[in-house]
């Protein structure tokens, strides 16, 4: 007798936002390896198509799609295109973050009282309203079919607070609150909604140099003395979108090497 494969996603269609590199790419790879067809979204079409090609070469069904998650019309077109290419979206991973295309952590790392109010908006546009827009677009189909999984990537900045990242922390905390409220609303329709809250994650593919002394000081705040990787995040998300996690909803899972234990 053959045992069923754990966390099998065969027959499911996943949409991963911000998946052209880093954490999003790692999540797309993990879901494809589990059998899901994957719509790879990014604001850069070249990055999205590159990851989709990588997944296709590994035997998965995948498509690269460009869209800015802060644009409601673009999001509606994104979800429609994913459905047309791969089938209705069963799984959404809200991964797109920071302050939007080309901004990185622009406007961060300053005392809040010295910041300009106009600099707060990009953080909320991507990390909160972008999450809400994409979730809003996929939910009607999930509710109609009686099945869906939504996982949002938040941050320990939103759980325990992070100085000099106050707008980002506030937006991520908002996304976690959105997760809990939405979970209560859609659970009766077979849709689960969860979040993963991250510490510092480093992509091995990122070759930028880092200050060893600064890294050592930062790692003293972690119980597991290393930075996270996209694979660490992807493993948690692969579980949460699987049938094995069908009785888990409204939760925020720390994936952080014990960072919050040392606060």
Residues marked as catalytic: 168
Structure tokens at 191: 């849709």
User: How far, in Å, CA of 52 to CA of 82, rounded?
Assistant: 12
Tokens 């996304």 locate to 175
Q: Which of 242, 202, 204 is nearest to 219 (CA)?
A: 202
Would you list the DSSP string of 57-118? HTT--EEEEE--TT-HHHHHHHHHHHHHHH-S--EEEE---TTSTTTTTTT-SS-GGGS-GG
C-alpha span between 131 and 17 (Å, rounded): 9
Distances (CA, A) of 42 to 25, 83, 102, 247: 10, 16, 12, 30
Alpha helices per DSSP H over the chain? 22-33, 45-57, 72-86, 121-124, 131-145, 156-159, 166-186, 212-219, 230-240
- How long, in residues, is the chain? 263
CA distance linking residue 156 with residue 255, whole number of Å: 9
Grouping H, G, I as helix, E, B as strand and the rest as coil, residue 160 is coil
Rounded CA-CA distance 72/54 in Å is 28
Radius of gyration of the chain (CA): 18
């Amino acid at each position: 007798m053959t045992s069923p494969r754990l966390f099998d996603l065969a027959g499911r269609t996943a949409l991963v936002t911000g998946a052209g590199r880093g954490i999003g790419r790692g999540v797309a790879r993990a879901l494809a390896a589990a059998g899901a067809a994957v719509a790879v979204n990014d604001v850069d079409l070249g990055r999205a198509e590159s990851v989709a090609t990588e997944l296709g070469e590994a035997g998965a069904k995948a498509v690269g799609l460009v869209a800015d998650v802060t644009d409601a019309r673009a999001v509606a077109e994104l979800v429609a295109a994913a459905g047309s290419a791969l089938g209705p979206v069963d799984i959404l991973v809200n991964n797109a973050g920071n302050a939007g295309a080309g901004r990185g952590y622009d406007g961060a790392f300053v005392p809040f009282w010295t910041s300009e109010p106009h600099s707060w908006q990009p953080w909320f546009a991507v990390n909160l309203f972008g999450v809400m827009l994409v979730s809003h677009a996929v939910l009607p189909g999930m509710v109609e079919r009686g099945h869906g999984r939504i996982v949002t990537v938040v941050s320990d900045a939103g759980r325990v607070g992070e100085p000099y990242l106050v707008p980002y922390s506030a937006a991520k905390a908002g996304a976690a609150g959105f997760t809990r409220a939405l979970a209560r609303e859609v659970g009766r329709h077979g849709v689960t909604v969860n979040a993963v809250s991250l510490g510092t994650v480093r992509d091995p593919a990122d070759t930028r140099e880092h200050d060893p002394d600064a890294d050592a000081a930062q790692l003293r705040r972690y119980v597991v003395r290393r930075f996270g990787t996209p694979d660490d995040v992807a493993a948690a998300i692969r579980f949460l979108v699987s049938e094995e996690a069908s009785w888990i909803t409204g939760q925020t899972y720390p994936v952080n090497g014990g960072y919050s234990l040392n606060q």
